[in-house]
C-alpha cells in the first residue's frame, strides 16, 4: 500500500509492504507541505500516483495521517490551526481522487500504533508513546489499544506544570512551552541572543558545557518529567516511549529525565523510559498499518 504522513513542514509518503504485525517501507518520497487543504490534496494524490506507478505489485489501499484533531471513525480532519482545515472529509475526498480505499488517522496515534506493533512499545499493555518535536502530544496505548477520546486525547503538551510561561494555546505553564524541540531552541536564542539551528544544536552546546544551554535543557527536562508524572498518576503506564526530534539526544535526554522523575514520583507506578525505535518513519508506518487493518476488517 501507499502511506502518507502530512506534517506541518513536510509530507512524507512511502510504498509499504507487510502484515498487521509489521510493515516495511520499500520506497520513500518527501515534499514540503503546501497550504491550504486544496493543494495538500493535490500533493497527496500526486504522491500516491507516483508511488503506485513505481510499484511492482498492485497497490490495494492508501493510509493517510494528519496532525490536529482527527475523527478517525468518520475519516474527518476536524481541526488543524497550522494546516488550515476544519471538518474536512479527507477519507471521502481521497477515496474519490485515488479510486482506492483510504484509511485515515492521526499522525501521533498512528506513530504510536507502529511503535506498539513493531517498535519500542511492542508487548506492552499500557504505554504512552510521546513524540517531542515542534509540539508534544502522546499516543495513549491502554489495555493494548490506541485510545483517541473522540480525537481529543493525549494532549500532554498542554498540561499546566507550573512554570507560568504563556502558550500559544491560550493557557499558561504548558509542558510544550518549555520542553518541545522548538521551545528549547527558541528559549536558548532568547536567553543568549544567539540564534541556533534547532534543539539539536542546543544539545551539542549542553555537551560542551555551555551554561545557558544547560539551564534551558534542565528546565525542559523538569517540565517533561512533571508531564510524565501526570501521565503516571492518571494512567499508570508501564512505559513512556520518547520519540520525535528531541529523542535523538538519547542519554542526554533520558538520563536526567529519569533522575528528575525519580525525584518527583510518590505512590505512582513508575514508568520505564524508553527511546522510540522507528524515528520519523513511525507516522508513515502507522498509516500503512491503519490501511492493512482496514482491509482485514472487510
Q: How far is the CB of 40 from a copy of itself (least distance, A)?
A: 21
**Can you tell me whether residue 144 is helix, strand or coil?**
coil
Residue 274 CA to residue 116 CA, distance in Å, equals 13
Least distance in angstroms from the C-beta of 251 to a copy of itself: 27
Q: Which is nearer to a copy of itself, 117 or 158 (CB)?
A: 158
Task: Locate 13 and state its grid cell.
Answer: 509518503
User: What part of residues 132-151 is at the interface with a copy of itself (CB under 8 A)?
Assistant: 140, 142-143, 145, 147-151
Least distance in angstroms from the C-beta of 130 to a copy of itself: 12
Answer for the pair 18, 63: CB distance below 8 angstroms, yes or no: no
* 8 A C-beta contact, residue 60 and residue 24: no
123 is an interface residue for a copy of itself by CB under 8 A: no
Q: Does 106 bind a copy of itself (CB under 8 A)?
A: no
* 182: enclosing H helix or E strand: helix 181-192
Residues 6 or more apart in contact with residue 5 via CB below 8 angstroms: 11, 12, 13, 65, 107, 110, 283, 284, 287
Instruction: Tell me: does residue 67 bind a copy of itself (CB under 8 A).
Output: no
155 binds a copy of itself (CB under 8 A): yes
Cβ closer to a copy of itself: 119 or 154? 154
Q: How far apart are CA 43 and CA 97, in angstroms?
A: 11
Among 82, 189, 192, 268, binds a copy of itself (CB under 8 A): 268
Residues 26-65 that bind a copy of itself (CB under 8 A): none
Interface residue with a copy of itself among 266, 296, 297, 298 (CB under 8 A) is 266
- Taking CB under 8 A as the rule, does residue 295 contact a copy of itself? no
77 contributes a contact to a copy of itself by CB under 8 A? no
Residues sharing a CB contact under 8 Å with residue 268, sequence separation 6 or more, in sequence order: 229, 232, 233, 236
Q: How far apart are CA 9 and CA 226, in angstroms?
A: 28
Site for a copy of itself in 170-229 (CB under 8 A): 170-171, 173, 226, 229
Helix (H, G, I), strand (E, B) or coil at 81: coil
Can residue 82 be called a binding residue for a copy of itself (CB under 8 A)?
Answer: no
Residues that bind a copy of itself (CB under 8 A): 69, 125-126, 140, 142-143, 145, 147-156, 158-162, 169-171, 173, 226, 229-238, 264, 266-269
Amino acid at each position: 500500500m501507499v502511506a502518507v504522513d502530512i506534517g506541518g513542514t513536510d509530507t512524507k509518503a512511502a510504498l509499504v509492504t507487510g502484515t498487521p504485525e509489521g510493515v516495511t517501507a520499500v520506497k520513500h518520497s518527501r515534499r514540503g507541505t503546501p497550504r491550504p487543504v486544496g493543494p495538500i490534496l493535490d500533493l497527496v494524490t500526486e504522491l500516491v500516483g507516483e508511488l503506485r506507478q513505481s510499484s511492482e505489485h498492485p497497490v490495494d489501499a492508501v493510509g493517510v495521517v494528519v496532525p490536529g484533531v482527527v475523527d478517525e471513525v468518520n475519516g474527518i480532519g476536524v481541526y488543524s490551526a497550522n494546516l488550515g482545515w476544519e471538518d474536512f472529509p479527507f477519507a471521502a475526498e481521497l477515496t474519490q481522487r485515488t479510486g482506492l480505499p483510504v484509511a485515515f488517522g492521526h499522525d501521533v496515534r498512528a506513530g504510536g500504533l507502529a511503535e506498539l506493533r513493531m517498535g519500542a512499545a511492542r508487548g506492552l499493555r499500557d504505554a504512552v508513546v510521546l513524540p517531542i518535536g515542534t509540539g508534544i502530544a502522546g499516543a495513549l496505548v491502554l489495555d493494548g489499544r490506541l485510545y483517541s477520546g473522540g480525537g481529543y486525547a493525549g494532549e500532554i503538551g498542554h498540561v499546566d506544570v507550573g512554570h507560568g510561561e504563556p502558550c500559544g494555546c491560550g493557557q499558561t505553564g504548558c509542558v510544550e512551552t518549555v520542553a518541545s524541540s522548538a521551545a528549547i531552541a527558541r528559549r536558548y536564542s532568547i536567553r543568549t541572543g544567539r540564534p541556533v539551528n534547532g534543539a539539536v544544536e542546543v544539545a551539542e552546546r549542553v555537551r560542551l558545557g555551555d551554561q545557558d544551554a544547560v539551564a534551558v535543557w534542565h528546565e525542559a527536562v523538569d517540565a517533561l518529567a512533571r508531564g510524565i508524572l501526570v501521565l503516571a498518576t492518571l494512567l499508570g503506564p508501564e512505559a513512556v516511549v520518547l520519540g520525535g526530534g528531541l529523542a535523538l539526544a538519547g542519554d542526554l535526554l533520558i538520563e536526567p529525565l529519569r533522575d528528575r522523575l525519580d525525584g518527583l514520583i510518590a505512590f505512582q507506578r513508575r514508568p520505564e523510559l524508553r527511546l522510540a525505535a522507528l524515528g520519523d518513519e513511525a507516522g508513515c508506518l502507522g498509516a500503512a498499518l491503519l490501511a492493512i487493518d482496514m482491509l482485514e476488517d472487510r
